[in-house]
């Protein structure tokens, strides 16, 4: 029924307890059988790939997850056969039809284990890291995977022959050099037409010495850059006393977990052996002869197309000292710090079943573990098996996801979206499966080494992806809890998450509140804001500490409000205080124009939805001065009204995130439209026409079988890198329609 190209059929997504593995021509559903290099591809199949994974990024660089979706629905999809409620009013019937169609289609994408898989690509600096780990450890991917990776890399080359930080971005040195080198590691000839052009881009923009520091790191590991051209990572910093504000235990966990293995590689000056390929690459990417480059001078050179944050004078001072320390360093202290780092790396590996917290440290830890224990060690093998958890196949080829998936997050949202109205109850099997996954994903144990390695207590929490990844997240806990409550209220399942576990989740949420009243991502804010002055990344902002965010705060406040309704006597005064200080934080984050800036999706419509949702839910319950809440909500509605497009929808581009100024998209976007509508309906905005015209945009965008088109990229991190949330195109239109049905149709 849907377009399924022959080459796509060779790829099958295997899932188990949230784990996602793309297998090529799988002989069984056993995931473990597909985690090694098995070469089973023929030349004809390679030729077929080249045809079937041709992707034209010029009209839209976002692939539509067609390989997963079209093959998953191809044989089993059926139109909804249950009883559809009838309304005499044709407009109302249209809403009912669209909503049921939307939920029906979407339920076919759910896996047996109960979650919704989806493309989580977008950033272009991730796959290169993994390929470098695979190259240096001499652990190649199967040929089928390699071919698919090449196609992906070529598919995302920009018109000017460079590559961006992410699939929608303009070309940068970081993006271009990393993809160029990746293609060469994958065996593409340097005289390939697209590589010749890419080389010209690199050379015309000053050559690879201008790559930002993370790129310098990867190139140094490959022996394409000299470690002397790299600012010291000062591994001894891990031996600092813990009370010091600059001790890395206080950094945002992602920053901490990336700079940790980087410091190990730096301390060991890990570099690939020189060979023909490396020698040739040195000439290909640098403007000067490798041997005559003045390396120390390159430490702070960054191509202007890459600069997002400028290094502060404090950072420069610190670099001056730490770089000089390298000349006089104590061998004893260096050994002590690298031993400590290695111990920490092992702990992170074990705590996460070798998945690691994210895609960057997964690749770099692999390099460290290979260096420390060798290719045949058990530890390294466990690492390399997890590489596959990050790979994703779509019609643009094989990419590396930005996490080992967004399983829990999407499942919680999808469930809440469906259960917002009674029509969701027409899908009891779907809800029962979601519930199983949500139940399974709640974290039940603490790892023995969690306190030693600075982990936030996590029993009762939910992670963003899977329990094996196991890093608890504040707002994921809130979403997991809200979804659990919604399912319990639906009466569709026999509760498995008992009262004790609900209370544990509440305790986790309470434990995550910062002194500013807000909630951050994975941990409390552990150091003062001035630490940001030490951000050495050049390409990301606000990465040094875990900041309170509007979205995270709103999600936590909402779940606490729901807990107050369902478990009225539980920790009442503590929860009430948490809610009111949370509301206060949200109010303080609101901008003069009535909007909120969103740090984790695009952008103002996203956070404004969260802000309004929390405030509206709290209003009238004595948590805060109601007049203040009302004024804030009115301001937010005025903002949204001002941004509504002529066709009735809303649309923002990723530039909103990096420029911090609302950037209107040329066309309405389903996801932004849904967020704006959810906010307006939560606010009980009085002008029905405004809401109706937005709803019409969603209806018009819906396809015959109930899907919505993949439009622009909708996720972001650290202001400057975009990330795909393939499930959002279904979840949020369904949610907006559910809310519309409940408020205006159901009667
Ligand atoms: C995510 C994904 C989920 C996201 C939300 C839950 C949506 C958010 O509300 C809180 C922050 C969080 C958990 C988040 C943090 C940063 C992540 C982990 C990511 C955007 C996914 C990928 C990104 C990670 C940092 C990417 C690797 C890049 C580095 C700079 C280390």
Cβ(548)–Cβ(525) under 8 Å?
Answer: yes
Copy the structure tokens of residue 670: 């389903």
Which residues are paired to 400 by β-bridges? 391
How many A from CA of 127 to the centre of ligand 1? Answer: 17
Residues 506-513 have a mean pLDDT of 98
What atom in ligand 1 is closest to the CA of residue 543? 30
CB distance 717 to ligand 1 below 6 Å = yes
Count Cβ atoms within 10 A of the Cβ of residue 88 and give its class: 0-12 exposed, 13-18 middle, 19 or more buried.
Answer: exposed
For residue 224, the number of C-alpha atoms closer than 13 Å in the C-beta half-sphere is: 31
113-165 pLDDT per residue, tens? 999 999 999 999 999 999 999 999 999 999 999 999 999 999 999 999 999 99
How many A from CA of 717 to the centre of ligand 1? Answer: 6
> Has this prediction a pTM greater than 0.85?
yes
Nearest to 349 by CA among 317, 372, 323, 326: 372
Q: What is the mean pLDDT of the chain?
A: 97
Copy the structure tokens of residue 52: 């079937």
Residue 250 has pLDDT above 90, yes or no: yes
Between CA 443 and CA 13 the distance in angstroms is: 25
The predicted pLDDT at position 29 comes to 85
Q: Residue 369: CB partners within 8 Å, gap ≥ 6?
A: 345, 349, 377, 379, 380, 383
- Number of C-beta neighbours around residue 560 at 10 A: 26
What atom in ligand 1 is closest to the CA of residue 521? 10
Nearest to 74 by CA among 52, 117, 105: 105
What are the two backbone dihedrals, phi and then psi, of residue 102, each rounded to the nearest 5 degrees? -65, -45
How many A from CA of 305 to the centre of ligand 1? Answer: 24
Copy the structure tokens of residue 140: 């190649």
Copy the structure tokens of residue 350: 């074990």
Cβ(537)–Cβ(212) under 8 Å?
Answer: yes
Between CA 615 and CA 171 the distance in angstroms is: 40
Residue extent(s) of CATH 1.50.10.20 domains in the chain:
126-400, 407-745
The predicted pLDDT at position 564 comes to 97
What are the two backbone dihedrals, phi and then psi, of residue 568, each rounded to the nearest 5 degrees? -55, -35
Banded model confidence at residue 74, pLDDT cuts 50, 70, 90:
confident
The predicted pLDDT at position 36 comes to 79
CB distance 556 to ligand 1 below 6 Å = no
Share of the chain above pLDDT 90, in %: 96
Q: Residue 292: CB partners within 8 Å, gap ≥ 6?
A: none
How many A from CA of 716 to the centre of ligand 1? Answer: 8
Between CA 103 and CA 678 the distance in angstroms is: 17
CB distance 254 to ligand 1 below 6 Å = yes
Which H, E and C letters describe 578-638, residue by residue? HHHHHHHHHHHHCCCCCCCCCCCECCHHHHHHHHHHHHHHHCCCCCCCHHHHHHHHHHHHH
Catalytic residue among 52, 119, 410, 475: 475
Banded model confidence at residue 30, pLDDT cuts 50, 70, 90:
confident
Nearest to 713 by CA among 159, 123, 129, 126: 123
Q: Residue with the nearest Cα to atom 19 of ligand 1?
A: 717
Cβ(45)–Cβ(10) under 8 Å?
Answer: yes
Residues 718-724 have a mean pLDDT of 97
Banded model confidence at residue 402, pLDDT cuts 50, 70, 90:
very high
Is 475 annotated in the active site? yes
Residue 296 has pLDDT above 80, yes or no: yes
Banded model confidence at residue 37, pLDDT cuts 50, 70, 90:
confident
Copy the structure tokens of residue 606: 């996203």
Q: Residue holding tokens 């996590």?
A: 458
Which residues are paired to 20 by β-bridges? 15
Between CA 253 and CA 482 the distance in angstroms is: 25
Nearest to 516 by CA among 580, 560, 582: 582
Residues 74-88 have a mean pLDDT of 91
Per DSSP, the residues of 32-100 read: GGGSS------HHHHHHHHHHT---TTT-S----HHHHHHHHHTT-----SPPP--SSHHHHHHHHHHH
Q: Residue with the nearest Cα to atom 3 of ligand 1?
A: 464
The predicted pLDDT at position 470 comes to 94
Residue 712 has pLDDT above 90, yes or no: yes
Cβ(626)–Cβ(579) under 8 Å?
Answer: no
Between CA 416 and CA 8 the distance in angstroms is: 32
CB distance 402 to ligand 1 below 6 Å = yes
CATH of 126-400, one of 1.50.10.20, 3.30.410.10, 3.50.50.60, 3.90.1300.10: 1.50.10.20
The predicted pLDDT at position 1 comes to 60
Q: Can you tell me whether residue 289 is helix, strand or coil?
A: coil
Cβ(460)–Cβ(472) under 8 Å?
Answer: no
Residues 399-406 have a mean pLDDT of 98
Tell me the fold of 407-745. Glycosyltransferase (1.50.10)
Between CA 79 and CA 97 the distance in angstroms is: 11
Q: Residue with the nearest Cα to atom 5 of ligand 1?
A: 600
Per DSSP, the residues of 446-490 read: --TTTTTTTPPP-TT--BSS-TTT--B-HHHHHHHHHHHHHHHHH
Ligand 1 mutation pick, 259, 261, 356, 402, max ligand atoms within 8 A of CB: 402
The predicted pLDDT at position 2 comes to 77
The predicted pLDDT at position 39 comes to 83
CB distance 359 to ligand 1 below 6 Å = yes
640-671 pLDDT per residue, tens? 999 999 999 999 999 999 999 999 999 999 99
Q: Residue with the nearest Cα to atom 20 of ligand 1?
A: 717
The predicted pLDDT at position 27 comes to 86
Ligand 1 mutation pick, 355, 598, 600, max ligand atoms within 8 A of CB: 600
How many A from CA of 508 to the centre of ligand 1? Answer: 19
Enclosing H/E stretch for 19: strand 19-24
């Amino acid at each position: 029924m849907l377009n399924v190209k022959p080459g796509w059929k060779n790829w099958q997504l295997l899932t188990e307890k949230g784990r996602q593995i793309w297998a090529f021509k799988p002989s069984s559903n056993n995931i473990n059988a597909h985690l090694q290099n098995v070469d089973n591809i023929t030349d004809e199949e390679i030729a077929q790939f080249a045809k079937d994974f041709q992707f034209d990024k010029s009209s839209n660089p976002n692939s539509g997850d067609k390989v997963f979706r079209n093959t998953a629905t191809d044989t089993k999809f059926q139109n909804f056969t249950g009883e559809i409620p009838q309304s005499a009013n044709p407009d109302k019937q249209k809403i009912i039809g669209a909503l049921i169609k939307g939920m029906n289609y979407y339920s076919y994408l759910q896996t047996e284990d109960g979650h919704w898989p989806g493309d989580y690509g977008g950033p272009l600096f991730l796959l290169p890291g993994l390929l470098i780990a695979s190259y240096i450890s001499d652990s190649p991917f199967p040929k089928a995977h390699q071919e698919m990776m090449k196609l992906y890399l070529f598919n995302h080359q920009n018109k000017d022959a460079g590559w961006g930080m992410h699939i929608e971005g303009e070309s940068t040195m970081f993006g271009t050099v990393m993809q160029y080198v990746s293609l060469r590691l994958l065996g593409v000839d340097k005289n390939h037409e697209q590589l010749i052009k890419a080389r010209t881009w690199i050379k015309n923009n000053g050559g690879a010495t201008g790559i930002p520091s993370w790129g310098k790191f990867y190139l140094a590991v490959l022996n394409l850059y000299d470690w002397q051209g790299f600012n010291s990572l000062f591994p001894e910093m891990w031996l600092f006393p813990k009370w010091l504000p600059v001790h890395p235990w206080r950094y945002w966990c992602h920053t901490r977990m990336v700079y940790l293995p980087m410091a190990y590689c730096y301390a060991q000056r890990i570099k690939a052996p020189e060979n023909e390929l490396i020698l040739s690459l040195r000439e290909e990417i640098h403007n000067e002869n490798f041997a005559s480059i003045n390396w120390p001078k390159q430490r702070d050179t960054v191509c202007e197309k890459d600069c997002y944050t400028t290094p502060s004078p404090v950072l420069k001072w610190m670099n001056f000292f730490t770089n000089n320390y390298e000349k006089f360093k104590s061998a004893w202290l260096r050994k002590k710090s690298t031993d400590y780092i290695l111990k920490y790396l092992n702990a992170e590996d074990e705590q996460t079943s070798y998945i690691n917290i994210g895609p960057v440290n997964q690749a770099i830890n692999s390099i460290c573990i290979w260096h420390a224990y060798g290719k045949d060690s058990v530890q390294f093998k466990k690492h390399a098996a997890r590489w596959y958890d990050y790979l994703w196949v779509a019609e643009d080829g094989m990419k590396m996801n930005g996490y080992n998936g967004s399983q829990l997050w999407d499942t919680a949202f999808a469930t809440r979206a469906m259960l917002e109205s009674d029509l969701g109850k027409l899908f009891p099997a779907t809800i029962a499966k979601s519930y199983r996954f949500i139940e399974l994903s709640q974290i039940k144990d603490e790892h023995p080494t969690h306190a030693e390695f600075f982990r936030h207590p996590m029993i009762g929490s939910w992670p963003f992806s899977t329990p094996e990844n196991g890093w608890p997240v504040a707002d994921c806990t809130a979403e997991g809890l809200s979804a659990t409550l919604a399912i319990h209220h639906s009466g569709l399942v026999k509760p498995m998450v008992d009262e004790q576990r609900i209370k544990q989740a509440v305790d986790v949420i309470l434990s995550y509140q910062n002194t500013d009243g807000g909630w951050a991502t994975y941990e409390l804010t552990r150091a003062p804001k001035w630490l940001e002055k030490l951000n050495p990344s050049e390409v990301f902002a606000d990465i040094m500490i875990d900041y309170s965010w509007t979205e995270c705060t709103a999600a936590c406040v909402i779940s606490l409000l729901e807990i107050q309704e369902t478990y009225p006597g539980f920790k009442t005064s503590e929860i009430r205080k948490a809610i009111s200080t949370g509301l206060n934080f949200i109010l303080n984050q609101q901008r003069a124009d009535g909007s909120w800036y969103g740090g984790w999706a695009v952008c103002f419509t996203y956070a404004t939805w969260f802000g309004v949702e929390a405030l509206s839910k709290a209003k009238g319950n004595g948590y805060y001065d109601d007049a203040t809440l009302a004024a804030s909500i009115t301001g937010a509605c005025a903002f949204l009204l001002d941004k509504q497009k002529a066709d009735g929808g809303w649309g923002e581009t990723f530039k909103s995130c990096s420029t911090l100024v609302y950037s209107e998209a040329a066309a309405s976007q389903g996801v932004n439209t849904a967020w704006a509508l959810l906010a307006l309906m939560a606010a009980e905005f009085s002008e029905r026409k405004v809401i109706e015209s937005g709803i019409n945009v969603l209806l018009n965008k819906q396809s015959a079988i109930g899907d919505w088109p993949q439009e622009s990229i909708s996720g972001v991190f650290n202001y400057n890198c975009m990330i795909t949330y393939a499930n959002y195109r279904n979840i949020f239109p369904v949610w907006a329609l559910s809310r519309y049905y409940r408020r205006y149709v159901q009667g």
